[in-house]
Amino acid sequence: MTGAVRSRFRRSRPLTPTARVRRLRRRITLLFALTSAVGLVAMAAWAVRGDDARWRDQLDRTMSADTNWALGLLETDEDGRLDAEVLLDTAGTACPPLHLLSVPSDAEPDARRIAPADLVVEHAPRTPCLTVDGPAVRRAAASAVNADEERSLDGVTTTGEPVRLFALPFYPPEAEEDARPQGALVTVAETAAQQADHRRLAWRVTGGCALLVGLSALVGHLLSGRAVRPALEALDRQESFLADAAHDLRTPAASLRTLAETALRGDTDSTDVHRRTLRLAEGMGALVDGLLTRARLMSGTAVLAAEPLRLDQLVEAVVEDAPADGHRVTVEAQEAVVVADPDLVRRAVANLVGNALVHGHAPGAPAEVEVTVAVAVDGASTTVTVEDAGPGLPPEVAGALFDRFRSGSRSTGLGLSIASWVAHAHGGSLTAGPGRRGGARFVLRLPSGDRPSTGG
């Protein structure tokens, strides 16, 4: 298989349900971040543009006030010619620089537009604080004259500094309402400080947006994680259930197959085969019921079938049903009542006893197991202690003893993990430690119910 074919095969492999849920989480996070980014960018653009318009509007109002004040100092002689002496004597026009331009007297009265080059410069400051090219001043004046209203535009000085030009049209004395402007006053103001403030604001807004987008992505990741967590837990429970079912049913299924092959060969009595088959079928049915019950309880679709239970009698029954095979199990039990699910507690105790019988002895030697049922002094809990005289618990598995597929002799299994789950499902606990005789000691603790009456 070539590399290209292998790569295409890897890409075409279907994703696992868990991988699909995780991909969905990434997509939700990305969608949340993109939605936040669009909103934040729109708000940032609106804020930046608003600030740009604000400082320009404020500067225009200031320049309009200065120009209107200067316009009041402008006079006209008897022949209608402009007289700027009062203006120059009173205000001076060096700073802020004030330019006076007029419409030529020979201009066509009906001409709709005045070209900037046609305007006559009546006055221009000789040593202005801001020097602007003449064409820019003429363009601003022509714009105001042609529009018949005040106009402003951006420009630069001869040294490249940014400025704002403001033009105010003026009219001859006692002019009619439809009279054309006689000219325009043009003033100039520097804008370097305002533009620097505006740029700083834009950078701050941009940085704030980037920070908020990152924060929203993090929040979206956390929220999407909480949203998909139930799905991941459900998938986890499903995989756990399938693994448990496969593990628990593998041995009885193999035994059934062996019995069927034996019966087909005719190597044994059919009655014995039928009896053993029936026993295995009943055991498999109990296993399936237990696994389904555990799956329903873990998924929250069912509740514990708790009822008052004589724990001492249940433990004695479990020990009687345990396969002896030459092993010795002793029981010392106090009368004890717990409120619990009988089937689940029976399985937990059977798992602990079975674990002690299998792993709690040296190879070739019989197991000696002690089972004790005792009620706590305060009566709040009842313990079932299963202790053997085997090799004890290896240190390397002590921390993961109640995990699925781990047990005390490096073999795989579910017995201890199921017993631990049953204990926690009833509000109790399962602990393990060294026993008095060097073996392992397991203590199943369950909340107590009412103590039985004497002789009950």
3-class DSSP assignment, residue 248: helix
The answer on pLDDT for 410 being more than 50 is no
The identity of residue 453, as a single letter, is S
The answer on pLDDT for 243 being more than 90 is no
Q: Note the pLDDT of residue 412.
A: 37
276, 252 contact by CB (below 8 A): no
Task: Please tell me which residue, 332 or 278, carries the higher pLDDT value.
Answer: 332
* Per-residue pLDDT tens over the stretch 336-393: 999 998 988 998 898 899 888 888 887 778 888 999 999 988 888 899 999 998 887 7
Instruction: Give dist(CA 181, CA 102) in Å, integer.
Output: 9
Task: Please tell me which residue, 127 or 83, carries the higher pLDDT value.
Answer: 127
**Residue 290: band (very low, low, confident or very high) from pLDDT cuts 50, 70, 90:** low
Mean of the per-residue pLDDT values for the chain? 82
Percent over 90 (pLDDT), the chain? 29
Least confident of 149-163, 326-340, 351-365: 351-365
Tokens standing for residue 81? 């010619």
Neighbouring CB atoms inside 10 A of 244's CB total: 20
Q: Note the pLDDT of residue 313.
A: 93
**Residue 415: band (very low, low, confident or very high) from pLDDT cuts 50, 70, 90:** confident
Instruction: Give dist(CA 339, CA 398) in Å, integer.
Output: 30
Average pLDDT over residues 9-32: 78
Least confident of 32-46, 172-186, 219-233, 243-257: 243-257
Q: Note the pLDDT of residue 437.
A: 82
**Residue 408: band (very low, low, confident or very high) from pLDDT cuts 50, 70, 90:** very low
**246 burial level (CB within 10 Å; 0-12, 13-18, 19+):** exposed
Q: Note the pLDDT of residue 176.
A: 73
The overall pTM is greater than 0.85? no
Average pLDDT over residues 171-199: 87
Prior bond to 252 cis, omega within 30?
no
- Torsion from C-alpha of 290, 292, 294, 300, nearest 10 degrees: -150
Tokens standing for residue 171? 């009219």
Q: Among the residues of 266-310, which ranges form H helices?
A: 270-299
30, 198 contact by CB (below 8 A): no
Tokens 């700073």, residue located: 95
**Residue 403: band (very low, low, confident or very high) from pLDDT cuts 50, 70, 90:** low
Neighbouring CB atoms inside 10 A of 114's CB total: 23
434, 394 contact by CB (below 8 A): no
Q: Note the pLDDT of residue 402.
A: 66
The identity of residue 193, as a single letter, is A
DSSP category for residue 80: S
The answer on pLDDT for 429 being more than 80 is yes
Residue 133 main-chain phi, psi, to 5 deg: -60, 145
* Per-residue pLDDT tens over the stretch 46-97: 999 999 999 999 999 999 999 999 888 888 777 667 777 888 888 778 888 9
Q: Note the pLDDT of residue 268.
A: 66
Neighbouring CB atoms inside 10 A of 401's CB total: 19
Q: Note the pLDDT of residue 417.
A: 76
CA 153 from centroid of its chain's CA atoms: 48
Q: Note the pLDDT of residue 377.
A: 84
Q: What is the CA radius of gyration of the chain?
A: 48
Tokens standing for residue 305? 């079938």
The answer on pLDDT for 394 being more than 80 is no
Average pLDDT over residues 179-196: 91
The answer on pLDDT for 4 being more than 60 is no
Tokens standing for residue 100? 């006076």
C-alpha pair distances (Å), 68 with each of 62, 142, 171, 287:
10, 18, 13, 98
Would you give the end-to-end CA distance of the chain in angstroms? 75
Sign of CA dihedral 139, 140, 146, 151: positive
Using the CB atoms, write b or e for 361-392: b if 16+ within 10 Å. beeeeebbbbbbbbbeeeeebbbbbbbbbbbb
Percent over 70 (pLDDT), the chain? 84
Average pLDDT over residues 415-444: 86
Q: Note the pLDDT of residue 95.
A: 86
186, 98 contact by CB (below 8 A): yes
120-123 vs 151-156, strand pairing mode: unpaired
3-state SS of 90-128 is HCCCECCEEEEEECCCCCCCCCCCCCHHHCEEEECCCCC
**Residue 317: band (very low, low, confident or very high) from pLDDT cuts 50, 70, 90:** very high
Q: Note the pLDDT of residue 109.
A: 59
